[in-house]
Each structure stands twice: as C-alpha cells, then as structure tokens.
Amino acid sequence: MSTDCSKAPNLKSGEGFRSIDPEEISGRERYQLLTSLVVPRPIGWISTWGSGDTPNLAPFSYFSALSHAPILVGVSIGHRSNGPKDTLINIRNRLAFCANVVTASQLEAMNLTSAEVDAAVDEFGLAGLKAESSSRVDAPYVGGCPAVLECLLEKEVVLGSAPNTLVIGRVVGVRLDASLPLMKGTSEVDPEALLPVGRLSGVGYAMPGDVRKIARPG
C-alpha cells in the first residue's frame, strides 16, 4: 500500500524535496521514518536466562556490529512504560547474552518470539525452539541456529532521554554450524549459504536475494 507523505503532518515541501524536522513530529512518526530509511537492519535475536532459569528470547532490530578488535556488538533495547524489558533485566542479572542470527528458515519462529508476554513465559517453547546452554557465557542460544554470537556485557550506554538503553556486548565465542561454508581462503561466512534476514519498516522483512560483489577501488 502506497503512502502519500504530503498528507503527513509537519512536512515542509521544497523544490523537489520534503524537509522534516524530527523535533516537530511525534515519537511514532520519528520511529516510522527512521525504520523505513535505515534498511535493511540486522536482527539481534537475543537470548538470555530469566528468573528461575526460564529461557527468554526476543528480536531487536536496533542491532549492529561495532568493532572487530575486540569484537563488539550493540543492541538498543527499548523500555516498557513500567520499566526495562525482560531482556535488559536478564542481561543485567547474568552479564551475558547470545545474539542468534535470524535466517530465512527461522523467520516465522522469530516473529513468534516478538510477542509481548509475561516474563515467566518461555519464548523458545512458544516458537517451538530448543534452548541450548552456551558453554562460554551464562546464556542460552537457539538450538539449530547456524550462527550465534556468545556475548559478555561490556557496558551500558544511556541514550539521553531516549526510551532505550544501548547494550554493548563483547563477543567471546562464535558458534557456526559445521555445514556452513566459509569463503575460500577467509573466515567470511558465505552469505548465500547463511541466508540472513533483514528488518524493514512495519511488518516488512528483506529476504535473501541476489548477492552483488563489487571490488573496491585501488
């Protein structure tokens, strides 16, 4: 369904462009604008242990690689109106989490784990997944997931007045399925074998397609 942006509030039309001041639109409009432009985004399918060792699993699309030496990844976790989400509480308690790479075959299961449920609910069971214990960090991972980053909490970053907390994790282990090939002569995972899924806006996802390879200049 197409959207006529000219009918949206607080949009100023210019010669061949629309100028939007983020401070003049609502939080919802800012979210819609940002998540429709910064695309596709990697999905951090974050798994943790909750109270009583209940496994917890939830997807976050504010997720990215930050550094390779050491390997650091960041996930921005939103807050509920009554406090932090279960994932953030669990990371603070166990100082660890796993970031499972969402692949095409896991899209439906990942979507099921995005449901807002009580902290006592096991999202692994909800999605028909098996929680396996990491041998490196105090967190579970998705059994059968071809690629998993095992992370220790490096630090939290308060994002000013934003209703999010940036969690930076130090990757201390990478679990790769034995059948997942690497690019010849490198440690690069073949993207056409991994088939990762990216997040778009709304209910949209970017499914794997043609991979174009372009040599860098020089």
pLDDT tens-digit profile of 22-31? 999 999 999 9
Please give the structure tokens belonging to residue 154: 């490096």
Residue 57 CA to chain centroid, in angstroms? 11
Backbone angle region of 160, left / alpha / beta, with phi > 0 → left and psi within -120 to 50 → alpha: left
The tokens 């396996």 sit on which residue? 132
Model confidence at 85: pLDDT above 80: yes
Q: Where are the alpha helices (DSSP H) in the chain?
A: 27-37, 86-94, 107-112, 123-126, 191-194
Provide, for the chain, the percentages of residues in helix, strand and coil under a 3-state DSSP scheme, each rounded to the nearest 5: 20, 40, 40
What is the value of pTM for the model shown?
A: 0.91
Residue 120, CB-side half-sphere exposure with 13 Å CA sphere: 0
Query: How far is it, in rounded angstroms, from Cα 33 to Cα 44?
Result: 21
Please give the structure tokens belonging to residue 166: 């940036």
Query: How far is it, in rounded angstroms, from Cα 123 to Cα 117?
Result: 8
Residue 134 belongs to some domain of the structure: yes
Residue 24 belongs to some domain of the structure: no
Residue 209 belongs to some domain of the structure: no
The tokens 């990697």 sit on which residue? 42
Query: How far is it, in rounded angstroms, from Cα 206 to Cα 197?
Result: 6
Q: Would you state the torsion angle of the CA atoms of residues 16, 21, 22, 23, taken in this order, to the nearest 10 degrees?
A: -170
Residue 137 belongs to some domain of the structure: yes
The pLDDT, as a whole number, for residue 213 is 87
Residue 16 belongs to some domain of the structure: no
The pLDDT, as a whole number, for residue 70 is 98
How confident is residue 2, by pLDDT bands cut at 50, 70 and 90?
very low
Residue 206 belongs to some domain of the structure: no
How confident is residue 12, by pLDDT bands cut at 50, 70 and 90?
low
Q: What is the pLDDT of residues 156-173, one digit of tens each?
A: 999 999 999 999 999 999
Residue 160 belongs to some domain of the structure: yes
Q: What is the pLDDT of residues 94-149, one digit of tens each?
A: 999 999 999 999 999 999 999 999 999 999 999 999 999 999 999 999 999 999 99
- Domain residues for 194? 42-176+186-200
The number of folded domains in the chain is 1
Q: What is the pLDDT of residues 49-71, one digit of tens each?
A: 999 999 999 999 999 999 999 99
Residue 120 belongs to some domain of the structure: yes
- 96: domain CATH number is 2.30.110.10
The pLDDT, as a whole number, for residue 16 is 84
